[in-house]
Amino acid sequence: MADEIDDLERVVSAEADAIERSSEAALRPRNLDEFVGQRVVREQLSLVLRAAMARGGTSDHVLLSGPPGLGKTTLAMIIAAETGSTLRVTSGPAIAHAGDLAAILSSLDEGDVLFIDEIHRLARPAEEMLYLAMEDFRVDVVVGKGPGATSIPLTLPSFTVVGATTRAGLLPAPLRDRFGFTGHLDFYEPDELKAILVRSAGMLDLSVSHDAAAEIASRSRGTPRIANRLLRRVRDWAEVHGDGRATLTAARAALEVYEVDARGLDRLDRAVLGALCTRFGGGPVGLTTLAVAVGEEPETVETVAEPFLVREGLMGRSPRGRIATPAGWEHLGLKGPEHSDGGATTRLFE
């Protein structure tokens, strides 16, 4: 029975994911001009692409890193669109064996853009094959098994790898070095998110007031994906309880229903900060212990909640683990330890 419920939940959430993904796709900017914010990355990338096109060749390999929902996949699509190339999509976890990668590489055409999402999760043998392909446009295909196996070198057409990762630190240096350009995406400013929201509302045919857009923007964790998602929830609220327009009242009410607090922390952020303060006395506590306490994978806590909490100054990292800052305690309405020095005092919770 419990299994059945689990299965059902999985089906329902898979469907919800599919709906979310397709509405995301509809709102994706199609070219660099439509892409809001990330001015530095945008300028650098624009230069790389224009220079490649002027030379009539393929662009250098591009690595995009940063927290989820900031536009890595969007930029990969834009790179292909701006250079008029065909986009081929795969991901680190989808490539279980080096042979899978060999098959993808040998099917590429001249000038293709190969997007490898979650590139930090490539298996080692595939990673090594990729070094060679990126540098020399060559792949060694192994034919046969055992002592009779032979390796046949295959020359590839020139192509561009666009890698995306939420954890650039996990990429081995030899792989990182083979990217001619690395763009690090950072959280967006509220006015940039507001511009994204106004554009999205236009595409959704939704009337949104400026103060509502500003309110949603300031509570979107610096993340366009979250801003767009909250906008759709505000639209739901407005359609059910209001006159269909996204007003400030609708925005505030919907954000309350979806448990997004005044500073934009969602349920996971609050769970992490809450566990850190109430169960571990403000830390320092190791990432794994903290993740177990909130029932999440350490990777989720590290890539999703932590970067935002750190940026907001609510949580800090020390060599001995995660610590709650005085602002973190205050945000939860809790009183921190006496003589708090940002949680760096020695405690025995690790």
Ligand X SMILES: Nc1ncnc2c1ncn2[C@@H]1O[C@H](COP(=O)(O)OP(=O)(O)OP(=O)(O)O)[C@@H](O)[C@H]1O
Of 185 and 291, which CB lies nearer to Mg ion in the complex structure?
185
Is residue 138 among the annotated active site residues?
no
3-class state of residue 316 by DSSP: strand
Q: Between β-strands 160-165 and 150-155, what pairing exists: parallel, antiparallel or unpaired?
A: unpaired
Shortest spacing between CB 33 and Mg ion, in angstroms: 21
Is residue 252 among the annotated active site residues?
no
Is residue 117 among the annotated active site residues?
yes
Burial class (CB in 10 A: 0-12, 13-18, 19+), 79: buried
Is residue 205 among the annotated active site residues?
no
| Partner from Mg ion, ligand X, none contacting 29, C-beta within 5 to 8 A by type | ligand X
Of 118 and 261, which CB lies nearer to Mg ion in the complex structure?
118
The residues with which 63 forms a beta bridge, in sequence order, are 163, 182
From first CA to last CA, the distance across the chain in angstroms is 37
Of 234 and 332, which CB lies nearer to ligand X in the complex structure?
234
Asked if 36 is part of the footprint of ligand X (rule: CB under 6 A), the reply reads yes
Asked if 225 is part of the footprint of ligand X (rule: CB under 6 A), the reply reads yes
Structure tokens given for 61: 């390999």
Asked if 27 is part of the footprint of ligand X (rule: CB under 6 A), the reply reads yes
| Partner from Mg ion, ligand X, none contacting 183, C-beta within 5 to 8 A by type | none
Asked if 73 is part of the footprint of Mg ion (rule: CB under 5 A), the reply reads yes
CA distances from 239 to 125, 234, 235, 243, 259 (A): 52, 9, 6, 6, 19
Is residue 325 among the annotated active site residues?
no
Shortest spacing between CB 255 and ligand X, in angstroms: 18
> Which of these is catalytic: 117, 219, 229, 247?
117
Residue with tokens 């991901």: 91
Structure tokens given for 340: 């708090």
Residues within window 56-115 making contact with ligand X, judged by CB under 6 A: 68-74
Task: Measure CA 22 to chain center.
Answer: 17
Q: What share of the chain is helix, strand, coil (3-state, %, to 5)?
A: 55, 15, 35
> Which of these is catalytic: 225, 232, 270, 322?
225
Residues within window 136-195 making contact with ligand X, judged by CB under 6 A: 164, 166
Contacts of 347 (CB under 8 A, 6+ apart): 280, 281, 282, 283, 284
**What character string, x for contact with ligand X (CB under 6 A) and - otherwise, covers 226-265?**
--x-------------------------------------
- Tell me the catalytic residues: 72-73, 117, 166, 225
Residues interacting with ligand X, by CB under 6 A?
Answer: 24, 27-29, 35-38, 68-74, 164, 166, 196, 224-225, 228
Residues interacting with Mg ion, by CB under 5 A?
Answer: 72-73
